[in-house]
Amino acid sequence: MENSEVLVELVDVTKNFGSTKVLKGINLQIKSNEFVTLLGPSGCGKTTTLRIIGGFEYPTTGKVIFEGKDITDLPPYQRSTNTVFQSYALFPHMDVFDNIAFGLYIDKKAVSLPYPETDLTFFEKLKAKRFNAKLEKYNNQTREPASIKDMEAKARKIVQEKHSSLSQAKQEELYNSILTSIKEEEKKWVESKPARPFTKAEIKTKVESVIKLVNLTGMEHRNVSHLSGGQRQRVAIARAIVLRPKMLLLDESLSALDLKLRKEMQYELKELQKSTGITFVFVTHDQEEALTMSDKIVVMKDGYIEQIGTAEEIYNEPVNRYVANFIGDSNIIKGEIIDPKHVKFAGKTFLVPNIKFAVDQTVDVMLRPEDLDIVYPSKGKLLGVVDSIFFKGVFYEVDVRLSEGSIVTIHTTDYIPVGKDVGISFDTEDITLMEEME
Ligand code: ATP
């Protein structure tokens, strides 16, 4: 992954609450313009990870890097992120327009652009001339904000050029104190950039455009307490994206909605992400939600990341039985690598090209129920007896007990009676070999 594309990076992040280790070493890169989902069961640390990105929690150890700068200690309001909380947290006494506009009104340092020439109120006109002149002066200084890497290199150079005769430990101490003062100086310079609030006209344009994006046109002046759950959800999202964060953090944002609305919102959120270009980080324990919306899924377990990949990668090549079971249905059977091209499971040996595991290693073998067919015993790669059959709406879920005792589930459109001897057929490329889990 090219570093220039990385928007946020978590480096060896851990988090303890008292003596409980909630995050145990998270390393994650999120690129610009991605829809990333943190997926895992309740309590695995998804929300804590999201809150660390947003600045609502600080890591116990590790770093948060945003566009190359270390923002580990920055409070939420100084980050280019915005969060949509599960509760929406709207202002009940305000209408839709004012709820969305609120953040734009209160941000007194919202923008470092000259005041526009038209559409100004009387007071805005008074401020405009002075502000525009100040900004022009600042912009005429030819200096770019420094990255953390630039600052580290500068501090290192000073130590090497002027203090190389000192002991290694003293050099390191000096380096750290020089780096701290360079960072402070840089921060002061960046913060000295003149900034002004948005004008009334700018706020109106911005709010109207996001109202259109989230399909709430016509409801601008409706009190939010008279809206449905789905509409309130839209207001919460509009309120967050109107501030144009580089990254939007969504914490189980669809969980309060009923199934039908949740499905609609899943598509709308994905569309919104594409049309705004804002990076979305979404937390959910719902695998289908993750599969529908994400460019990248981060599967978590007990404070660790188990796997990062596209929906397809995670579905087709899960790294272990935990991921395989979390995404989709799966059959997992113990297997053993016989030689670099053969694996043995359920008492039979199968050809699998490009085995990555060592000979004699035991592995978990995964077969997805939809990749299996029930055939005549003479044509089956595995043999067994139908143990149960359930109709699941569009297919039958058939459990077959294999001759060596394990149960394999098959999704099929054929009805097969319980007790019948059957064969199970599949393509060898549908065999997935995974690291064995304890
Ligand atoms: P859920 O889907 O239920 O929200 P999650 O995967 O988002 O779960 P977290 O909310 O990150 O999990 O919580 C991880 C663990 O940390 C849980 O055991 C939780 O009880 C604990 N935890 C979270 N916040 C705190 C806190 N402020 N103080 C103490 N423990 C906390």
Nearest-CA residue for atom 24 of ligand 1: 48
Is the separation of the CB atoms in 151 and 186 below 8 Å? yes
Query: How far is ligand 1, taken at its centre, from the CA of residue 76, in Å?
Result: 19
Per-residue pLDDT band at 235 (split at 50, 70, 90): very high
Residue 143 phi/psi, 5-degree rounding, is -150, 135
- Which range of 53-57, 260-264, 405-409 scores highest in mean pLDDT? It is 53-57
Name which of 383, 382, 417, 380 is nearest 398 in CA terms: 417
Copy the structure tokens of residue 18.
Answer: 């008292």
Q: Is 296's pLDDT higher than 90?
A: yes
**CATH 3.40.50.300 correct for 3-80+245-308:** yes
Is the separation of the CB atoms in 351 and 340 below 8 Å? no
Q: Is 281's pLDDT higher than 90?
A: yes
Average pLDDT in the chain: 90
Mean pLDDT of 212-233: 88
Strands 279-284 vs 247-251: parallel, antiparallel or unpaired: parallel
Nearest-CA residue for atom 3 of ligand 1: 42
Name which of 295, 428, 276 is nearest 352 in CA terms: 428
Q: Is 2's pLDDT higher than 50?
A: no
For the CA of 283, the closest atom of ligand 1 is 7
Mean pLDDT of 59-84: 92
Residues with CB under 6 A from ligand 1: 17, 22, 40, 42-48, 285
Task: Give the pLDDT score at 142.
Answer: 66
Mutate which of 14, 15, 48, 251 to test ligand 1's pocket (most atoms within 8 Å of Cβ)?
Answer: 48
Q: Which regions of 224-379 does DSSP assign to beta strands (E)? A: 247-251, 279-284, 296-301, 304-309, 331-339, 342-345, 348-351, 362-367, 373-375
- Evaluate if pTM is beyond 0.85: no
Task: Give the pLDDT score at 230.
Answer: 82
**Separation of CA 268 from chain center:** 17
For the CA of 57, the closest atom of ligand 1 is 27
Cα–Cα dist 247/273, whole Å: 10
Q: Tens digits of per-residue pLDDT, 248-264? A: 999 887 776 777 778 88
Query: How far is ligand 1, taken at its centre, from the CA of residue 45, in Å?
Result: 6
Mutate which of 13, 46, 284 to test ligand 1's pocket (most atoms within 8 Å of Cβ)?
Answer: 46
Task: Give the pLDDT score at 4.
Answer: 47
CA angle 89, 93, 94 (to 5 degrees): 80
Cα–Cα dist 433/13, whole Å: 30
Percent of the chain with pLDDT over 90: 63
Strands 373-375 vs 382-391: parallel, antiparallel or unpaired: unpaired
Cα–Cα dist 50/8, whole Å: 12
Cα–Cα dist 202/206, whole Å: 6
Mutate which of 22, 87, 305 to test ligand 1's pocket (most atoms within 8 Å of Cβ)?
Answer: 22
Residue indicated by tokens 């699998």 = 352
For the CA of 15, the closest atom of ligand 1 is 16
Q: Which value, to the nearest 10 degrees, does the dihedral of the CA atoms of residues 354, 356, 361, 366 take?
A: -80
Q: Tens digits of per-residue pLDDT, 21-31? A: 999 999 999 99
Nearest-CA residue for atom 26 of ligand 1: 17
Number of DSSP helices (H) and strands (E) in the chain, helices first:
11, 20
Nearest-CA residue for atom 29 of ligand 1: 17
Mutate which of 15, 17, 56 to test ligand 1's pocket (most atoms within 8 Å of Cβ)?
Answer: 17
For the CA of 285, the closest atom of ligand 1 is 2
Domain ranges of the chain: 3-80+245-308, 122-191, 330-434
Q: Which value, to the nearest 10 degrees, does the dihedral of the CA atoms of residues 112, 116, 119, 125 take?
A: 80
Q: Tens digits of per-residue pLDDT, 142-154? A: 677 778 888 899 9
Q: Identify the bridge partners of residue 349 per DSSP, sorted by sequence position.
A: 344
Fold adopted by 330-434: OB fold (Dihydrolipoamide Acetyltransferase, E2P) (2.40.50)
**Separation of CA 69 from chain center:** 20
Query: How far is ligand 1, taken at its centre, from the CA of residue 383, in Å?
Result: 45
For the CA of 300, the closest atom of ligand 1 is 6
